Amino acid sequence: MSKITIYHNPACGTSRNTLEMIRNSGNEPSIIYYLDTPPLHDELKKLIADMGITVRALLRKNVEPYEHLGLAEDVFTDEQLINYMLQHPILINRPIVVTPLGTRLCRPSEEVLGILPDAQRGALTKEDGEQVVDGEGKQISKHS
């Protein structure tokens, strides 16, 4: 059993699909409901660094505080953006998954398959009906 953590929003389909993919690999992750218990400042900075993305790339744009705070304007420092995410956790894009193989923003949810230490154990279909893993536990390519 591998140590896996998911920063999860149960109201989000992508987050729910990602959680199912983790469970389909035989792992029960630590689930952090980040809207209720947002990461601490240094933890959020480390997650961003570990993902190798910019602070702005983690920012959710289609939520109320984004427009209200004027975050589309490119006038904020990374530190200011992090502080807004900590004050308004809904601004943190999700799900973020941490495994021994890496940390990734799993959008789309299939991104998690690249950092899971254990293979998928069986077929898996996303909530929208798209099959992503076949009956042998192999990822189905959209381009095949």
* Domains of the chain and any CATH numbers: 5-133 (3.40.30.10)
pLDDT digits (tens, 9 = 90+) for 74-122: 999 999 999 999 999 999 999 999 999 999 999 999 999 999 999 999 9
At 8 the three-state DSSP class reads strand
Burial of 29 (0-12, 13-18, 19+ CB in 10 A): buried
pLDDT digits (tens, 9 = 90+) for 40-82: 999 999 999 999 999 999 999 999 999 999 999 999 999 999 9
Q: Which residue numbers are catalytic?
A: 12
Amino acid 141: pLDDT: 79
DSSP string, 94-137: S-EEEETTEEEE-SSGGGGGGT-SS---S-EE-TTS-EEE-TTS
Question: Above 70 in pLDDT, residue 144?
Answer: no
Amino acid 64: pLDDT: 93
* Order of all β-strands in the sheet with 5-8: 30-33, 5-8, 96-99, 102-105
Prediction pTM value = 0.94
